[in-house]
């Protein structure tokens, strides 16, 4: 109320001062104009009387002069006329003027001396007046002076009226503006703030509250943004505290983002963490004149952000957004997240040739098919290998710059894009703890042996103190590859490689996803059946059962084999024609690589062929959604599908399988999972299939559709327990713990050692 009163009073006073200032200038202008008009009228009248008075003054006829001044003495605002001789004697005066004019006015003397007309404003007693005097001539001889005296009190009255009118107008306007301001403030300011306060109070006291009803105006934008961020933090903190209390009560040890942050701080102590990946956690893109921040859908971001936030670390990544350069400082870095900065993001710039050779060339046309063994021949080009080396050196330089001045730093490099990076970093900073996690499979030694630069890749990886894979079998394949390729000592009991007096541990760290303990509001408010019906309506099909597949369109994912299995299902079990629809969400990927471009066309053509064979007027067996989908969009399919198919021909882990399980709070739905996906080692209650066996996959889908709700619930409960206990935060915590447990001897960097040798030390 005090704020509203101050605002209204300040606004009214401000308006009053402005109005009074303008009124002051208006009154002065009116007063000046009225005086000029009076002076001009007096001058015109004086010139007229001069022509009549001069002859009478020559004749010495005072009676005629008196008659003349009496005749002109009754005009509007005219007090009278007076005529003086040259001896300062008064010859004639209007009868009404005699009582006011007792002395010879100064204007008369001024006019006589200057021999020209002269006017001035004076006070005759209490009466304001205007006197205009003009000399009377006979040829060149001055005979006397004529003075016209006007009553100027009407000017004062007019001025007072303007002031009074202004006062009343300001008073009325102030009242109305104050009333309107009060209503506006209560409607658009006090009301929304009160509702926001009530909303925050509800959240603070633990009661359910919806999103605040705050207008989306510019004036409220900062408040809304900060309040929303604050409440989200409060809600997350309360949820984390409740979860920790529940876990303590149940004597469980579930990993959360908060627990991961505490764990990392305790393990790192005074060290700083550095993460290197090809994909950045925040991308800035231009939309018209605005720059928008995009967070890519990535389990890696989910896992590593809590670590970097906890220790104020640095994430080094390729700056791929078209507005990324506009948002960094002169060190090519910025603080992220945008709403609550906690750590640094250092961007590395790659030109088109570097990206083509390093990423699309060697990494994705060479290493990707080599490691996946998915019947696509790897392409190894010397030019691509050259770019791969140069980009690894570029990232290494960026990492070393960020590490400058940091004692015993910790580095986590991510994936097959940076196989050379560990050796480059370790060479310059032997005191650093270096780990690399290889997110894709590692093939057997014979398969990897076809790479022309296998020795260089292995040597680069063995610069790390810790190499992580998803599965123990991948670790074994790596150790066997090293054993056959490089001079080294394999310590099989410790799963480690000793090369050039440097020990590299090789361990499995199966990656996972975030696991939400409670379902989101949307899924809690509607049943899976209602949501499924709305999905079918949006897709334009009428069906009973829903299947879903989610992945990038990649030849390792077994999408074509999956479609053939669906076709076989409809052939063998025609009762599902018109009842079962499979939605394939396929995000285009690496489309300017010929193999991926051709695969897109093959998948689309196969879906059309099968649809043409079986579809009816209101139904088709396959709905192929060939575009990027948000996490929220995909979650709707996960929560409502009867069956989810993950049919990878070869995969490191495949997080789609775990995402589907984590989304099923209703403990329904069936997962059909390839035996060649790493997730099959953990999710043993899925229907495990060989994706090359079309008959087996078709039968698995039929079993999934006909499985009893009790069997579905039992299987899903076991899988959800596995994902819950081994979530993304446990993966990150174990990886950091494994790296920090390694003892690293502080040594002189190679660059400093070379300088010392050159100096003769």
pLDDT, block means (10 residues), the chain with 761 residues = 66 74 79 83 80 74 77 73 79 77 81 84 83 82 82 82 77 75 70 68 58 54 64 64 54 75 83 92 90 78 79 91 92 91 94 94 93 87 96 97 92 95 96 95 94 96 96 96 95 94 95 80 56 91 95 92 97 96 91 88 95 95 90 91 95 92 94 95 96 96 96 96 92 90 61 48 42
Query: Dihedral sign, CA of 400, 403, 409, 411?
Result: negative
Q: What confidence score (pLDDT) does residue 758 get?
A: 47
Q: How far is it, in rounded angstroms, from Cα 352 to Cα 295?
A: 23
* Omega within 30 of 0 (cis) for the link into 337: yes
Task: Go through the domains of the chain in sequence order and give each one's CATH number.
Answer: 2-157 (3.30.450.20), 267-349+393-512 (3.40.50.2000), 527-726 (3.40.50.2000)
Q: How far is it, in rounded angstroms, from Cα 420 to Cα 457?
A: 6
Q: How far is CA 560 from the centre of its chain?
A: 39
Q: What confidence score (pLDDT) does residue 254 get?
A: 82
Q: What confidence score (pLDDT) does residue 753 get?
A: 46
CB 657 within 8 Å of CB 647:
no
Measuring CA to CA, which residue among 31, 39, 34 is closest to residue 120? 39
Q: What confidence score (pLDDT) does residue 522 get?
A: 45
Three-state SS string over 451-488 comes to CCCHHHHHHHHCCCCEEEECCHHHHHHHHHHHHHHCCC
316 membership: H or E segment, kind and range: strand 314-318
Q: What confidence score (pLDDT) does residue 200 get?
A: 65
Q: What confidence score (pLDDT) does residue 523 get?
A: 46
Of the chain, the end-to-end C-alpha distance in Å amounts to 78
pTM (predicted TM-score): 0.70
Half-sphere exposure of residue 334: CA atoms within 13 angstroms, side-chain side? 22
Q: What confidence score (pLDDT) does residue 423 get?
A: 97
CB 590 within 8 Å of CB 726:
no
Instruction: Please report which residue ranges of 205-333 form alpha helices under DSSP H.
Output: 221-249, 257-268, 299-311
Q: What confidence score (pLDDT) does residue 750 get?
A: 45
Phi, psi (deg, nearest 5) at residue 585: -95, 110
- C-beta neighbour count of 527 within 10 angstroms: 12
Residue 728 makes CB contacts below 8 A (sequence gap 6+) with: 299, 302, 303, 511, 512, 513, 514
Phi, psi (deg, nearest 5) at residue 433: -90, 125
């Amino acid at each position: 109320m005090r704020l509203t009163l101050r605002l209204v009073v300040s606004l009214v006073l401000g308006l009053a001062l402005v109005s009074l200032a303008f009124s002051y200038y208006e009154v002065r202008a009116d007063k000046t104009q009225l005086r000029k008009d009076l002076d001009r009228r007096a001058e015109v009248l004086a010139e007229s009387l001069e022509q009549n008075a001069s002859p009478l003054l020559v004749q010495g006829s005072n009676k005629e002069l008196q008659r003349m001044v009496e005749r002109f003495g009754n005009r509007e605002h005219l007090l009278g006329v007076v005529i003086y001789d040259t001896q300062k004697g008064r010859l004639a005066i209007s009868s009404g003027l005699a009582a006011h004019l007792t002395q010879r006015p100064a204007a008369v003397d001024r006019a006589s001396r200057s021999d020209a007309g002269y006017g001035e404003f004076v006070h005759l007693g209490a009466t304001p007046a205007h006197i205009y005097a003009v000399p009377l001539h006979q040829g060149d001889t001055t005979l006397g002076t004529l003075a016209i005296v006007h009553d100027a009190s009407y000017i004062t009255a007019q001025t007072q009226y303007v002031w009074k009118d202004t006062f009343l107008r300001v008073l009325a306007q102030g009242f109305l503006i104050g009333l309107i301001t009060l209503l506006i403030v209560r409607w658009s300011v006090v009301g929304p703030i009160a509702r926001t306060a009530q909303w925050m109070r509800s959240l603070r006291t633990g009661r359910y509250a919806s999103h605040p009803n705050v207008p989306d105006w510019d004036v409220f934008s900062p408040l809304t943004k900060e309040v929303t961020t604050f409440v989200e933090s409060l809600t997350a903190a309360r949820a984390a505290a409740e979860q920790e209390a529940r876990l303590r009560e149940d004597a469980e040890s579930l990993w959360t983002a908060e627990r991961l942050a505490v764990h990392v701080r305790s393990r790192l102590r005074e060290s700083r963490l550095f993460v290197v990946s090809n994909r950045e956690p925040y991308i800035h893109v231009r939309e018209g004149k605005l720059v928008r921040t995009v967070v890519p859908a990535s389990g890696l971001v989910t896992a590593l952000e809590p670590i970097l936030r906890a220790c104020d670390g640095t994430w080094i990544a390729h700056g791929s957004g078209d507005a990324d350069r506009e948002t960094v400082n002169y060190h090519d870095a910025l603080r992220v997240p945008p709403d609550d900065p906690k750590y640094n993001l250092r961007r590395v710039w790659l030109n088109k040739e570097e990206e083509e050779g390093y990423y699309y060339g060697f990494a994705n046309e060479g290493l990707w098919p080599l490691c996946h063994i998915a019947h696509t021949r790897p392409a190894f080009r010397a030019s691509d290998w050259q770019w791969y080396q140069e980009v690894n050196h570029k990232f290494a330089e960026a990492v070393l710059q960020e590490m400058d001045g940091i004692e015993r730093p910790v580095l986590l490099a991510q994936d097959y894009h940076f196989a050379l990076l560990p050796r480059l970093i370790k060479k310059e900073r032997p005191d650093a703890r270096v780990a690399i996690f290889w997110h894709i499979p590692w093939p057997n030694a014979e398969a990897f042996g076809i790479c022309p630069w296998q020795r260089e890749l292995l040597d680069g990886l063995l610069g790390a103190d810790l190499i992580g894979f998803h599965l123990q079998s991948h670790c074994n394949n790596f150790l066997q590859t090293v054993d056959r390729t490089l001079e080294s000592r394999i310590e099989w009991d410790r799963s480690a490689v000793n090369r050039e007096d440097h020990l590299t541990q090789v361990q499995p760290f199966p990656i996972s996803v975030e696991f939400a303990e409670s379902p989101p509001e949307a899924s809690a408010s509607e049943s899976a059946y209602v949501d499924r019906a709305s999905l079918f309506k949006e897709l334009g099909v009428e069906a009973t059962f829903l299947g879903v597949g989610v992945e990038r369109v990649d030849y390792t994912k077994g999408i074509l084999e999956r479609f053939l299995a669906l076709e076989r299902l409809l052939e063998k079990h025609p009762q599902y024609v018109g009842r079962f629809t499979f939605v394939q969400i396929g995000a285009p990927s690496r489309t300017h690589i010929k193999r991926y471009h051709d695969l897109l066309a093959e998948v689309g053509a196969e879906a059309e062929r099968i649809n043409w064979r079986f579809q009816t007027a209101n139904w088709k067996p396959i709905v192929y959604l060939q575009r990027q989908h948000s996490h929220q969009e995909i979650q709707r399919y996960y929560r409502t599908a009867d069956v989810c198919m993950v049919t990878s021909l070869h995969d490191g882990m495949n997080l789609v399988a775990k995402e589907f399980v984590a989304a099923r709070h209703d403990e329904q739905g069936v997962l059909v999972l390839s035996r060649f996906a790493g997730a099959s080692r953990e999710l043993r209650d899925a229907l495990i299939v060989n994706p090359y066996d079309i008959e087996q996959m078709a039968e698995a889908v039929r079993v999934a559709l006909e499985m009893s709700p009790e069997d579905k619930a039992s299987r899903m409960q076991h899988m959800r327990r596995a994902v819950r206990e081994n979530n993304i935060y446990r993966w990150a915590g174990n990886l950091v713990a494994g790296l920090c447990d390694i003892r690293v001897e502080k040594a002189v960097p190679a660059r400093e050692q070379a300088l010392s040798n050159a100096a003769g030390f």
